[in-house]
Structure 1
């Protein structure tokens, strides 16, 4: 077994006050869940939510809710596997699967990270264009600077990075709170939207957007990242201490993902109340949404808050995607580089295709590209969820930290549902239906 820990710069760097009260011990674990949650409110989510809300009103809120509940369970299993084994998901795949299985899983994980970064880089560049008039291509290249931000923050300590991300999340929630007040949605219709509709499974257009929402919410790279982030806490070596760490880390991620659900719901509600209700049922481009928002709501403030929230989401998400790239590269390949060059390598994996695509497509077609990137993530999901479930189900290795059987049954049910939906989407595409 490789002795080098996951994310070695921050491994066990946060002290847990084992002798302190319950609330103070819980406070030591608050942070990793929010780093994971930002991936659930990235610009890819915006594209799918805008497309779904403008085309189908509040119908797909049920998909946002279901995918968030799925994410909460899977991320809780990630905390358990990471704390119980002391390994991240990529390391476990390398150590326990034969090379013909592990290397394709690595390649698929890299593709998922590229799809994630593509959405985040383009979304951030769109926000810079809307707010400051910076050309889209230059905006994409500017986002490479996040590698230096991560290096500086990690040098200052994990808690600084977590505090920055948490602060940005609060600003994002505030922006959307004000926008929802300005949009004044039909709250009865909002509540009905959380009840699943049969049309989602039978209408191919709805299913395509629904798969994008699932891919944008239950993101493959977050499963790898969370198993690594929980190891930044010095949890202790006894089963009792690790069991408490699992409980506290699960509370952290559940609350954080609850905030992410509020943000995702707000984007979809805003699109439904502003565009669908006004007869604009084909608003998918983020730039079009920005241009339409002021005249439809009668306030330029809503459009400005929209662009600010998009910028904050993009900045937040690129930070965690870069960390996930490090976890995947080091875990699968044992590829060790000095921190600066490692950051540059993981960022280049995504920024090069993003620059090429932006240079070729320009501002047109970004919505289709963003939605497609999220559907690609959904297609990649089984290749992260199934290994996670295999490790979480290994009671002989987890011992006293084994997951309750109801969590395992639900987890495997989620895996089968994702596979079934992916197969239906592929079958519909091949049949041209």
Structure 2
């Protein structure tokens, strides 16, 4: 007999009510059991294709053609490794990453990590505010400052999904992902890129170590792709699935969650690559090598590709990305706040606080420094995310590599070494970027 699928809303207690609310059928076939676990990976994937990705990928593609395509692919593969550890922590230790930090680190370290990740959430939300505002400007001609203010209305979506449950939220996010992918497929059709050059772009380039601007954009791609808050988000939202406490059920849950996230992140990698390839084909190939703002890209796409529809699809996909990322960043913020300091807030309340803190600099920049500075602020926000990454990666690697914490679900030594190398590599790249910015 099958247990009925039931859901409890994500209310004022955050995920406390939603954990274990999606029940899995007992005695059903493999495919049906797997499909119950499909969804969280796609919520995580939205953070890998948010408006910040657009800014960095457009800048990279227009300035360096397809030479940084390997960075987009590499960062997505790194994300798959890290997100797999996040899901493993959830089912292996029955903790999300923020809860694990609070349980196993001293209080001062916990507070420090909480502050860094709240900063990462703000940087993420800043990108969403700017990206959505730009999309509204491109489609409807609104000033950027007004578009930024209007983004506060997305709290209505949060209120809606508070009532309807987690699976409805997942379905909405996946529907928007379908819209985004369709828009990019059409744009690539109009752009007709050089696929041979794209294949060559998959090979690393030595110029990355000698060109500070290329390194800056590579770190921007990394910061926009491997999102620190996603590691906290994934370890929490997979726990919306009810899993029996026995070893076999938890092992199967880990495998299903890993497959879900891998498929979703491969999809995100395809979208990220498409953005960079589009920029290389539409701008770099035509001599427009300084496209660093999304609004510039919109204005250039139609005349360069000879297809006005391509520009409209560009704006629609941008708004869809902003909406998706807003939803998932709110959920991540709830988990981080609850897990680190046990402060609970409804999704709508959390959204309003975060959005108020990020609308202010976006509006101020547009009004004081001019709309041209907003695009640069967007790219900077993604580089800022890369600085928060080590403080999410290294605790995750330590927890999942500890047999004391994970028991029989401890990550293999090879996986732990690989993930640790990713964390150390990101840290070293950040140090080099700081050095180049100060002394060169």
Q: State the TM-score, normalized to the length of structure 2.
A: 0.95
Residue 394 (structure 2) pairs with residue 389 (structure 1): no
The corresponding residue for 2:9 is none
Q: 1:340, 1:287 → 2: CA distance?
A: 30
The corresponding residue for 2:20 is 12
Alignment of 1:231-246 (within 5 A): 231-246=239-254
Of 140, 143, 157, the match for 1:135: 143
Runs (5+) with no aligned partner, structure 1: none
Residue 128 (structure 2) pairs with residue 120 (structure 1): yes
The corresponding residue for 1:148 is 156
Q: 1:338, 1:213 → 2: CA distance?
A: 32
Runs (5+) with no aligned partner, structure 2: 1-11
Of 31, 52, 55, the match for 1:47: 55
Of 216, 220, 241, the match for 2:224: 216
Supply the RMSD in Å over aligned alpha carbons: 1.5
Instruction: Using the TM superposition, give the Cα deviation of residue 155 of structure 1 relative to its aligned residue in structure 2, in angstroms.
Output: 1.6
Q: 2:326, 2:283 → 1: CA distance?
A: 28
Contact 1:5-1:11 within 8 A present in 2 as well:
no
Alignment of 1:160-199 (within 5 A): 160-199=168-207
Q: 2:202, 2:89 → 1: CA distance?
A: 31
Residue 407 (structure 2) pairs with residue 422 (structure 1): no
Give per-residue Cα distances to partners, 1:36-60, cap 9 Å, x unaligned.
0000000000000000000000000
The corresponding residue for 1:104 is 112
Change (3 A) 1:352 1:83: farther
Q: 1:5, 1:26 → 2: CA distance?
A: 28
Alignment of 1:25-424 (within 5 A): 25-338=33-346, 340-424=348-432
Q: 1:137, 1:84 → 2: CA distance?
A: 46
- Secondary structure, aligned partner of 1:277: helix
Q: 2:15, 2:192 → 1: CA distance?
A: 44
Contact 2:13-2:346 within 8 A present in 1 as well:
no
Q: 2:43, 2:348 → 1: CA distance?
A: 21
Give per-residue Cα distances to partners, 1:131-171, cap 9 Å, x unaligned.
01222112112222222312311321111000000011011
Change (3 A) 1:206 1:34: same
Comparing 87-96 with 357-366, which one deviates more in the overlay? 357-366
Contact 1:239-1:401 within 8 A present in 2 as well:
no
- Secondary structure, aligned partner of 2:372: coil
Q: 1:378, 1:338 → 2: CA distance?
A: 28
Q: 2:112, 2:95 → 1: CA distance?
A: 20
Contact 1:6-1:228 within 8 A present in 2 as well:
no
Q: 2:358, 2:246 → 1: CA distance?
A: 40
- Secondary structure, aligned partner of 1:40: coil
Instruction: Using the TM superposition, give the Cα deviation of residue 6 of structure 1 relative to its aligned residue in structure 2, in angstroms.
Output: 6.9
